[in-house]
Every structure is written in structure tokens, then in C-alpha cells.
Homo-oligomer: A and B are copies of this chain.
Amino acid sequence: MEVATDAVRLVDHHAHGALRAAPKRRSAFEAMLGGSPLDSQLGFSVRRWCAPALGLDEHATAEEYWSARSTLGEPEVNRRLLGAAAVSTYLLDTGYDVGSVLAPAEHAAASGAAVHEVVRLESLAAYLLRRTDDPVAFVTAFPAALHAATRDAKATVGALAHRAGFDLDPGRPSEDAVRQAADRMLQAGEEQVTDPVLERHLLWCAIDLGLPVQVQCGHGDADLDLPYANPLLLSGWLRATEASGVPVVLLHGYPFHREAGYLARVFVHVHVDVGAGLAQVGSQARQVVAESLELAPFTKQLYSSDAWGPAELHLLGALRWRRAMAQVLGAWVGEDEWSADDALRVLHLIGHENAERLYRL
């Protein structure tokens, strides 16, 4: 038996805009998908599940797919694939390679979905540091700038997994330490925030702000630079921030989704998703979704695609989640493990209700 999941409202609580313009070369398009559509689960999924939305047969060849995509042009590709994704609301991270992708209002128009913003802490800090050579000014300016930048935003997001890593001192750094770190960064002329002290400062400012703080873990963006991003290493910081009551959302933990689920179980303020992993693992999404439903409370799980760029990723994230949830929940109802009512309740919690409550949508 299958649980019907097609009609469930879906909030994609962490994604990026769809591509603004068609990739000039097939190799550029394939690089955005992490490699050839002929040699990965993701590529097979594009040919199986996205091809029909472009008017092709299922399992179209990579050549056919690229040809159809190029002929249609990015606006039409976006319209079709985002339409098929049928996501109701996107929360878009506007801090990563924004020149290449649609701005929130454009993504809303292309998808027909409501769109809200998530502010990336490191991007805002880098922006400020490019505009000053006074580390003292930076220390005092960041909280105010964060406040202003998030006036209409629903969350902040920290990318420390891509930089300093999770194995850092959990406490709030002193003003003096932050000033010195900013000074080092200014002296070195660095463009990206990678200093662990600065990362800690940004995270604690985000806690002070009070909006939910998303933290990227495990397999993530294309700029991921640090494979060792096991969220268990965040335990100290999670313990230090639990009393604040500010929600922390661990994003796309694969292959650490069981560990992330454990954290959601033991820390009151921790929420999780499997995010980017689902589209990547393709026909294995069913197992990964089942594992994600082991320890984490169902009221603390969310859906995200972490898609950036090609709208194939927005579609496949949603499709994989809907399809895997239908199979997993259907099997449990079929074995009389779960009642059908409970399965539906969990489907709506993870699909949209938890995100609506958490982000006050």
C-alpha cells in the first residue's frame, strides 16, 4: 500500500534560486549536477524523472536531455521543472553565488510559490569587512547589520562546515578576540570568513537575533570544503545554546543523518532535515528517508532540497521526498505498524506544518 503524498503542501525551507540563464556548455550544466548524467544516481534521476517534464521519454539519453533543455531555454525549463516540483513555499539562502540564480521575487514568479529569505551569516560578514579597515567597527557593526538585513527574513544560516569546521570552542568569544580575528582577516586581505573565532561570533550574534539558525552539515553545497562536518561535533555549542530557546536547524546531514537525528532527540531546540542527500542518492532515497525517521521527533523534522541553480534539483528534491515518504509510510501502514492517520499526520508535519510553525509562515 502507498500513502498518497502528491497533494501535500510542501515548504522547502532551505534552497537557492533557480538558474537565471541557460548554461553555455553541456559540461557546465553537468558540473552543476556534480558530474555526467550517465554516471550517478542524480544523473539517472534527471533522465528518468525530469525528462518527461521537458517533453522527452523517460530515461532519455544525456544528449537528448541537453538538447531539449537548450532548445526550451531557462525560463521555460524553470517554469516546467519548478511547476512539477509543486513546492508551496521556498526559503531561499541569498548568500551563495547569487549572480547566477534568480532573486527571490524572480524565483517566486518562476515557481508560483511564496518565497522568503534566509540570510547567510558569512556573506554578510564578508560584505561588511570589504567595506571597512577597522576591526573595532566591524565588531560593533555586525549585530546591527544583521538586524537590518533580516528585517524580512525568516532565518539565518551558518556555513561553518565549509570553513572552520564544527570542532570549535562552543562559548561566546570575547570582543577582544573577535576584534583580533577581524584584524587578522583584514590584514590578510581574505575574502571569505574562515576564522573559527569569527565563525563563533557570527553564530552567537545569530542566537542573539532570535530567528531560527540553520547550520549546514554533511553533504552540501558545491563549495563544501570540509568533508569532516559530523554534527556530533557541534554538541558543545548545542548545549551552550539550548537555554536561549532559539531554534537550531541542522541541514542535510547525510551521511550523518542518524547522528543528526540523535541530536534532535536530546536537544530541545534542535531540528533536522536530510535535505540535499535525497536528490543525490536517487533510488536509495527510500532507505535514507527511513533512517531519518528513526530517532528525530516528527515535530522537529523538515523538508529541504538545498537546490542551487538547475531547477532539476528543486524538482528532484521534492519528488524524492514525496516518493520515498509514500513508500516508507505506506510500508509501515501496510505492516500495521503505523495507523493511516498517524502516517498522514507525520507527512503534513514534515512537509509543511513544522516549517510553518518554526518560521512563523
Contacts and interface: CB of A to CB of B under 8 A. Distances in A.
A219 B295 contact: yes
A242 interface: no
Nearest to A60: B339
Contact of A48 (B35, B41, B254, B337): B337
Contacts of A266: 224, 227
A58 B255 CA distance: 35
Interface stretch (A6-14, A116-124, A276-284): A276-284
A294 interface: yes
Interface in A13-61: 34-36, 38-41, 44, 48, 58-59
A140 interface: no
B41 A293 contact: yes
A307 B218 CA distance: 32
Number of this chain's copies in the complex: 3
Given A40-B298, A219-B262, A337 B235 contact: no
Contact of A293 (B219, B284, B299, B339): B284
Interface in A286-309: 287-288, 290-291, 293-295, 297-300
Interface string A340-357: 011001000100000000
A232 interface: yes
A338 B44 contact: yes
Interface residues of A, number: 53
A294 B265 contact: no
Given A219-B262, A262-B219, A283 B335 contact: yes
Nearest to A340: B59
A290 B38 CA distance: 18
A66 interface: no
A280 B295 contact: yes
A295 B284 CA distance: 10
A284 B290 contact: yes
A127 interface: no
Given A38-B345, A44-B337, A44-B342, 9 more contacts: A39-B297, A40-B295, A40-B297, A48-B337, A219-B262, A227-B232, A228-B235, A281-B295, A283-B337
